[in-house]
Amino acid sequence: MSGNAKKITVNCGTTHVSVSVFSEQAGSLVAEKLVVEELVYNYAEEDEWAAAAVGALSGIFKALKLKGPATVIAPGHLLLTKNVKVPQVEASRQQQIIEFEAGEKFPFPLKELVWGSQIISTDGVEAEVVLFALRRENAERFAAQLIRAGITPEIILPSTILDYQAHCFLNGEETENVLIANVGARTTNLTFVTPDGFSIQNFAVGGNFLTQAIADSLGKPFPAAERLKVNYFSNAVDLAENDPHALKIQENAHAFCRRLGQEITRRIVNQKRENAKGAPTKILLTGRGSLLPGLSEALAESQRLPVEYFEPTVPVRVGPDVDSGYFDAVRFQLSEVIGSASELLSLPFPQVNLLPPQIASELAFSKKKPFFIASAALFAIAPWPLFFGLLDANAALAASGKALKAETATLQERQKTIESLEKKNAPAAAFVSMLDGVLASRGEWNAFLADVQSRIDALQAPRVSEDGEKTFSSHRHIWVESLDVARAASVPAAATDEFDGNENAAEPVVRTTVSLKLRLLIPEVDGAKPEHNAAAFNA
């Protein structure tokens, strides 16, 4: 992972829970936050565990103000663990074989389980596979409780696989055969580490086994026996050596050590049977149950192997928000936590996830909810600018309509005024039209007047006889007394006969009539001359 990456780990033990935040800095693990809290419930009642664990975890998350996805470590007492060997074939075929073996090994149908597998070793011919499972109803109920408490379980890891991860973190490429014995409250988990890999075995003997034995021998309820056991071995209560309670406790403690040694011996024998080279050369103890006084000595004697305590917390740096004394006091409860945090160092990490698929899908969808909500909000908001734009445009159009109506009213008033003026100016317009006609026909008038003038001149011209004698007519003194012009429209006769109401019918023809009144002066009248008699004059 990248530098300064952080990981929230939730460890769900039988008698305690822990919440930790680790980061990677310069290739080292740094414990930035850590809280370990004891669970308050009757350890003999398994059904009370989930509510107690979730309640404690909720309080820790609120106190630490933690948010974000967390890795949840499932306790050993809820896990089903089986080891199988499958042929080393292609991955898809091998997975089918593993699924078949899981259906055969687990005591429940696979549809009732959330299960996963991890290849832990191979010799090229066969691969050793460890199978992990949780009852589906338990896993779904617990995951739902965590989510309601404000905790987002991104992955659920089996606790039994994490001691090996912690060993790899602490020892790297060490090839020594060792047995890690994690003694818990209800179960003991054994991890056999070899150069070729590791294998896991567990059995239902833990600290509660000793508590129940004390309760039975002293006739006390389980919670009272648990308090007595813890107070006695932590020296919180001082009992005389010959005190009956002390004797019973010591007796049951020795019996517990013997029973634990027998179970470990049986598993070591099985390990040797499966792998002749897999016998451990030493035993590493961890878990709070391993702190029982005299246990390490009893195991060293019964197994004839050196026994040491497994402390993967040694190379871990403690951040400023974690008290180093507190960290040291709870170190034997942190092996699984360190194994989970080692993922930050890019070490090989198990790919097992026991989070129910339905819960995983819901969480994946919930991560996308903000984007969906934002998209929905954008879609909801998107029409509003257009809507407001349309409102503005509508308002502008309304204002423009009002302006146009006002302008139309003004123009209509002007039109009425113009029509009124047209009516008043109709006579003047007719006169102007007449003048326009006169102006248009001025050339014709010039020709007409010139013709009249030429005719008058012809009347006044002298006559020349054959002998060349000029004789002046008596009409030589002629002038125009008056000239009247009359214009009238008339429809051609042919057009009148053919008129059928068609708009294209012939238009009326304007006829101009010119009346000339001439006067002439006769200087002398000779009645003897024929042109001077009345008949000639009238002609």
Residue 426 scores a pLDDT above 90: no
Please report where in the chains the tokens 């020296």 appear, as a residue. 235
For residue 75, give Cα distances in angstroms to 13, 107, 149: 5, 19, 19
Residue 528: both structure tokens together = 């003897």
d(Cα 422, Cα 268) in Å, to the nearest integer? 128
Q: Which of 22-26, 353-357, 488-492 has the lowest mean pLDDT?
A: 488-492
CA–CA distances in Å: residue 294 to residues 206, 211, 254, 297, 299: 15, 16, 8, 5, 9
Closest CA to 17 of 62, 64, 72: 72
Q: Which residues on adjacent β-strands are paired with residue 318?
A: 31
- Rounded to 10 deg, the angle between the 442-460 and 426-440 helix axes is 60
442-466 pLDDT tens trace: 787 788 888 888 877 776 666 666 7
Query: What pTM was estimated for this model as a whole?
Result: 0.68
Separation between Cα atoms, residue 310 and residue 328, nearest integer Å: 13
Helix (H) or strand (E) segment spanning residue 157: strand 152-158
Which 3 state secondary structure label does DSSP give 382?
coil
pLDDT greater than 70 at residue 523: no
The continuous run of DSSP H or E covering 520 comes out as strand 509-521
pLDDT computed for residue 328 by the predictor? 93
Per-residue pLDDT, 3: 52
pLDDT average, residue stretch 172-193: 89
Mean pLDDT value across residues 217-240: 88
The three-class DSSP label of residue 469 is coil
Report the SS3 class of residue 441.
Answer: coil
Mean pLDDT, residues 221-225: 91
The whole-angstrom separation of Cα 15 and Cα 392 is: 69
The CA distances from residue 315 to 331, 338, 342, in Å, are 12, 10, 12
Confidence of residue 340 (pLDDT cuts 50, 70, 90): very high
Task: Say which residue, 481 or 3, is predicted with more confidence.
Answer: 481
Q: What confidence tens digit (pLDDT) does each residue in 250-290 have? A: 999 999 999 999 999 999 998 888 877 778 999 999 999 99
Whether the CB-CB separation of 339 and 20 falls below 8 Å is answered with no
Question: Which of 293-307, 360-374, 468-482 has the highest average model confidence (pLDDT)?
Answer: 293-307
Q: In the chain, what percentage of residues exceed pLDDT 70?
A: 87
| Least confident stretch, 398-407, 414-423, 506-515 | 506-515
Kindly state the tokens that stand for 62: 């609120």
* Per-residue pLDDT tens digits for 37-57: 999 988 888 889 999 999 999
Query: Six-digit token pair at 443?
Result: 């050339």
Q: What angle do CA 7, 9, 14 make, to 5 degrees?
A: 175
Q: pLDDT tens for residues 101-145?
A: 999 999 999 999 999 999 988 888 888 899 999 999 999 999 999
Residues 234-246, mean pLDDT to the nearest whole number: 82
* DSSP string of 43-62, one letter each residue: TT-GGGHHHHHHHHHHHHHH
Going from the C-alpha of 218 to that of each of 245, 254, 292, 391, the distances in angstroms are 7, 16, 19, 87
For residues 369-390, one letter each, b for 16 or more C-beta atoms within 10 angstroms of the residue's C-beta and e for the rest, the string is eeeeeeeeeeeeeeeeeeeeee
Rg (CA), the chain: 62
Query: Maximum CA pair distance of the chain?
Result: 207
Cα torsion angle, 315, 321, 324, 329, sign: negative
pLDDT band at 311 (very low <50, low <70, confident <90, very high): very high
How would you class 534 by CB atoms within 10 Å of its CB: exposed for 0-12, middle for 13-18, buried for 19 or more? exposed
DSSP string, 8-45: EEEEE-SSEEEEEEEEEETTEEEEEEEEEEE--S-TT-
How do residues 56-104 score in pLDDT, each as one tens digit? 999 999 999 998 899 999 998 899 999 899 999 998 999 999 999 999 9
The Cα–Cα gap between 256 and 298 comes to: 10
- Closest by CA position to 15, among listed 289, 397, 421, 210: 289
Find the distance separating the first CA and the last CA of the chain, reported in whole Å. 142
Instruction: Strands of 362-496 (E only): list them.
Output: 463-464, 470-471, 477-490
Question: How far is residue 346 from each of residues 29, 73, 337, measured CA to CA in Å?
Answer: 12, 19, 16
Determine the pLDDT at residue 196: 81
pLDDT at 279: 86
Residue 43 in contact with residue 374, Cβ under 8 Å? no
Residue 483 is predicted with a pLDDT of 83
> What does the mean pLDDT of the chain come to?
85
* pLDDT reported for residue 35: 95
Q: What is the mean pLDDT of residues 235-247?
A: 83
d(CA 281, CA 287): 20
Please provide residue 151's backbone torsions phi and psi, each rounded to the nearest 5 degrees.
-110, 130
- The values of phi and psi at residue 440, to 5°, are -70, -30
* Residue carrying structure tokens 């992972």: 1
| Section 11-17 average pLDDT | 92
Of 244-248, 313-317, 507-511, give the lowest mean pLDDT range: 507-511
Please state, as a whole number, how many other Cβ atoms lie within 10 Å of the Cβ of residue 4.
Answer: 11
Question: Which neighbouring-strand residues pair with 187?
Answer: none
Distance CA 456, CA 519 (A): 11
pLDDT for 492 = 65
What's the confidence (pLDDT) of residue 478?
A: 76
pLDDT of residue 53: 93
Residue 487 tokens read as 């214009």
Q: Which residue has the higher pLDDT, 533 or 420?
A: 420
Please write the tens of the pLDDT for every residue from 344-391. 987 777 788 999 998 888 877 666 667 667 777 777 777 777 777 788
